[in-house]
Chain A
Amino acid sequence: MKKYMRLFITFVFTVLVIGFLYIQHVVANYDAVMLKTLAGNDVELRKVVLDLSVWKDDINIPARLENGKIHISNQYSLWETITGAKLSPEIKNLIKKERNFMRGKVGNNENYFEDEEYLAYVNVHYITELRIENKGTPEQYEYYHHVPGLIVDVLEKESDKRWSFPLELSDDEDISFINVEDVQLMAGVLKVLTRVSPYEESEYYQFSTIDFTTGKIIATSKIDAPEEAEAIFFINNMKNLKPEHYYLFSIRMINEDMASEGVMEKYYLFDLETEEMTELSFDPGLYGKVVTAEDGEIYFANQQNGLEVTVYNIETEELKTLSFPDVKDDEGFTYVRQDHGNYYIAKTNQRNTIRLFIVEGESGEILYEGEISHNDEQIEIYLADLSVL
């Protein structure tokens, strides 16, 4: 035995240290972030995916609530990239359902549209060209120019018929980049909202109608902020793949009558069918901050005395209020989602806890109420996203 001592010590030392390293990983993550059910049934959670951002010693550790369980992930993990753990739940779902269609696709939720009949994908791609200026002169120089285009792919689910084609976009050298913000398929045509960022002017949105059966852009219109406005923002839930009839934009106006802080926000509704933009007919400030817009509804959150979520139906102009007086925090972002008449609301609460509510839309009955917290109170937890599958 003595003559094997060196080998034995090296082997045992290695096994102990590497074993400690990985056991420590498991122990550190085990039940670190906990979900406590305060009311209702856990079954309601099966459709909820909540992305969290856990801050420990100035380091961000992503975590996800999925199928009622919290999983701590590692943004540097290759294995999580391979297994697709880092993908959004909606894209993971699409890969499961339409594996063939999803092959070779990059991009995020905003590049996809899905309803019962169709699945559509639109993304911007760039073709790099080498350009020569002042050719043949002493001032000749070369540079790479990226010509933008669109990649369009539409699947008719029942027949499995696909329309897949590239589309050329106007090559404007003043444009820095173009981003797809939303894709819709309405009355047999694709409607694509893109955010255009010029090098020198402020950003604007472009709304294009594409006939995917002929592979042609039928019309393009610019959605721009008025001259006196500072910028224009798209408020809808960009992660939503489902059909939308309205877009909500906010436009920041600099009010010259007011002091230096005189920035006011105006909200505009864009009807995707008529392509008309109308100013919101009431002051959204009455109901708190605008959270998002989705499925023909606008959500507001008032966090002055507990949390009050107001749901405004664009078509019927009806208002509905959901109250959560127990929520103490008056700052932070509120996430509101709607699915099959139920509202899913997530909000950072005091002591860095997250409160999650599932409310039956008609009756206002709370179907589920839960709290996410960490066993170390020094650790901060923030909401990163909320999805309902």
Chain B
Amino acid sequence: MKNYIKLVNFEFNRFFKIYLVLIALTVVVQLVGAIYEGFNYVDFAREMMQNQMITMEDFVRDYGPMSIYSFIKTIWFLGPVAICVVTLLIYSLFIWYRDWYGKSTFIYRLLMLPVERIKIFFAKVTTIFLCVLGLVSLQYVLLFLEHAILERIVPGPLFVNLPISSLLNFDFLVILYPPTFIEFLLYYGTGLVFLFVLFTMILLERSFRLKGIFLAACYGAVALTLILAPLIINDGVGGYLFPMELFLIEVFLIVFIGFVSVLLSGYLLKNKVWV
């Protein structure tokens, strides 16, 4: 366990600078965006009310009120989220390849460490996963701050005080913050297995190089087919299975794919991967 934590800490520190940039970018862009959007809306409202000689109530009726929900659909909010998602996806590949192609072929040292090699795999998965959850948590805190900023800038009659808990039911936020803890485990558990499969594919490529690209593609395709097959077949037979039955099959398959990925990755790291 100690070795595993050491490895996680090591991997986390390697990514920390980029991670800090992502955090800073998200915080700065979203908070500045909230201030800008708040004042922009107020200016627009003032201008329209003066030009059209309408009351605040008329303006709200014609142009809609301001709320945190309006803000989350702007580029100020979505931009940093998209950058974080793309960066973490790219780093999920880079976390392995930097060991081979980085300075002084670092993979030599990693593989020579007196620890079980599968712990390297788990340490990398944990790092990515922790970074994802860290950013998701940060975003949750930021939503409160953005709501508070907008509430301060926009006058009461023009602002809808939408509670953050209700906001989480809309759009993509329902995926980031699933409504129940069970769904949280389901969604993020599936994400974890996705990382297992992706890392196994990378290790297949690192083990068999050109042939490995083909093997990795096959592995990914088989995993995807296994997960989608029950859904497609059930649709084809007119929804024969009840949702709970389909769900249990999917959970079994996802756990199975995750288990096979870990076993295969362990085998590849121990016997096949080469530098």
Contacts and interface: CB of A to CB of B under 8 A. Distances in A.
Interface residues of A, number: 36
Interface string A64-82: 0000000000111111011
B162 interface: yes
Contacts of B9: 3-4, 6-7
B87 interface: no
Nearest to A151: B238
A28 interface: yes
Contacts of A11: 130
Contacts of B138: 13, 17
Nearest to B169: A76
B133 A18 contact: yes
B242 A22 contact: no
Contacts, number: 95
B137 A57 contact: no
B184 A57 contact: no
A24 interface: yes
A124 B137 CA distance: 47
A112 to B, nearest CB: 16
B111 to A, nearest CB: 23
Contact of A81 (B160, B165, B178, B243): B243
A74 B182 contact: no
Interface string A91-132: 000010001001110100000000000000000000000000
Contacts of B51: none
- Interface magnitude class on chain B: 35 or more
Chain A CB within 10 Å, residue with most, of B162, B182, B237: B182
B12 interface: yes
B243 A84 contact: yes
Contact of B177 (A21, A79, A83, A102): A21
Given A57-B161, A74-B169, A84-B244, A21 B183 contact: no
A180 B180 CA distance: 35
Nearest to A28: B165
Contacts of B186: 78-79
B179 A57 contact: no
Contacts of B166: 56-57, 59
Contacts of B163: 56-57
A22 B138 CA distance: 15
Contacts of B131: 10
A14 interface: yes
A82 B8 contact: no
Given A14-B136, A28-B165, 20 more contacts: A4-B9, A6-B16, A7-B9, A10-B12, A14-B133, A17-B137, A17-B138, A17-B141, A18-B133, A22-B184, A56-B166, A58-B160, A59-B169, A76-B174, A79-B182, A82-B244, A82-B247, A102-B242, A103-B240, A104-B237
Closest 7 CB pairs of A and B: A17-B137, A74-B179, A104-B238, A77-B179, A76-B169, A22-B181, A14-B133
